[in-house]
Amino acid sequence: MAHYAKIVDGIVTNVIVAEQDFIDTQAGTWVQTSYNTQGGQHSLGGTPLRKNYAGIGYTYDSTRDAFYLPKPYPSWSLNESNCVWEAPVADPTPPSRFGWDRRGLALHDWDEANQRWVAV
């Protein structure tokens, strides 16, 4: 079994766990995704697949062969090596590579109008 994302006009509309034989019988475009891949890294030390695990609303970029989140703010740019959006100013104290503390709480919010991070 593997995870597959349904792609409609470059956007992920569904993610399911299925066998390849089942996917082969489905209409539309389905692309395999890895639950253990984030930011171009495989959490278990395996081979990363398509930069990030797909989620509903994510973009699938067939040129980069990558999934990534919708752009969070107009000023942010896509890091081409890991397909993660980056602010023009680095988060002052990122507690993990995902920008969250161990409880899953953001420590800073981006203030787009002033182009800076604000503690929460």
Interval 49-94: pLDDT, tens: 999 999 999 999 999 999 999 999 999 999 999 999 999 998 886 5
Kindly state the greatest CA–CA separation across the chain: 51
How does residue 45 score in pLDDT terms, banded at 50, 70 and 90?
very high
Give the separation between CA 20 and CA 54, rounded to whole angstroms.
17
Give the separation between CA 44 and CA 30, rounded to whole angstroms.
24
Q: Residue 16 above 70 pLDDT? A: yes
Choose among 32, 40, 25: nearest CA to 6.
32
